[in-house]
Amino acid sequence: MTDAVRLLNDEGIMRFERYVNDLRSDLRTPPPLYLLSDPKTSEAAPYATSIKAQPLGRPFKSAYELGEYLCEVVFKGMSKPVISREYGLWNWLALYLFDELCPLNDGNRSPLETPAYVLSKDFKYTRYYRHLVRSAWMLVSVHGRSAKVLLTSSSTEGSPVSVRTEVQMQLSATQEFVESKSVVETAYALYFDETADQMKAGYSSKGAGSPRRLVTVLNQFDLTYDLHASPAEKLVSLLPSEFDRFRGRGKPRGKARSAVSPGSAVLEFSSGAPRRLV
């Protein structure tokens, strides 16, 4: 059974936000799904489309699966600018999917911060990119298959749709990076195992070769290269040796490390003198 996609109006959004905030004091409270169809709290969308609960016959295994479903089925052929900032739409969808975004676990829910579910009228990147439904749709619509590196989690805790990966958090901190096809394809080449269709082991570490270090190095590259115009293959090849374990070159020989400081070239240190990479 499918349901016509609607919009939450201001009254509906206010009540939904109140529910999310109150949920923290009573984790067993079911979502107010009546808001979805009540004419006092919702209205028909200006475009005809429908959605189905658990269209795959099971919960989504990742936020990528959710984003793919939204792009290829629910909003197939629709213009992104038409729906991108339609906050009533994304709030309606978050409520519709709430049992997947914030499922019961041993009788209780574990809600994230309110912006993960509720969008305000004011478009602010720091809040919009945190919305679980809109971000899944947007990242898949922009990056296609490469969005798997942003939306596939290896964590077994919580809902797989609501877990943010380390790659997503690090790249999303810089809007230009998370929107850049070259940057996301670089992260995909490094951290996603296409054969196993999962994230590579150790990708979420904090040290050498980590997503955090990738952002640091890319910030340095941005002083020299046009990252948006540079093919991912070129960026991957330019990365220092600390990324070799993800690049498929094995472990660096000796006590290899890389150092990047603002305003300096990227240098690679092995057993000898530093070698200029950029």
In sign, the C-alpha dihedral spanning 85, 87, 90, 92 is negative
Tokens coding 49: 């489309």
Predicted pLDDT of residue 39: 98
pLDDT averaged over 10-residue windows placed end to end, the chain, 278 residues: 95 98 96 98 95 92 96 94 93 97 93 94 80 96 96 80 90 92 97 94 88 95 90 94 82 38 38 33
Dist. CA 200–CA 190, nearest whole Å: 8
Give the model's pLDDT for residue 156.
65
Tokens read off for 235: 């960026």
Q: Rounded to a whole number, what is the distance in angstroms from the first to the last CA of the chain?
A: 56
Q: What is the pLDDT of residue 261?
A: 40
Report the candidate in 161, 179, 177 with the shortest Cα–Cα distance to residue 112.
Answer: 161
Stated pTM of the model:
0.85
- The confidence score (pLDDT) of residue 277 equals 37
Using DSSP, state whether 66 is helix, strand or coil: helix
CB burial of 162-186 (b: ≥16 within 10 Å; e: otherwise) equals: bbbbbbbbbbbeeeebbbbebbbbb
Cβ-contact 43, 6 below 8 angstroms: yes
Instruction: Annotate 126-164 with DSSP letters as a single string.
Output: HHHTT-HHHHHHHHHHHHGGGGHHHH-----SS-TTTPP
Residue 112 CA, distance from chain mean position = 15
pLDDT reported for residue 159: 86
DSSP letter assigned to residue 108: B
Residue 15: name the closest of 118, 89, 112 by CA.
118
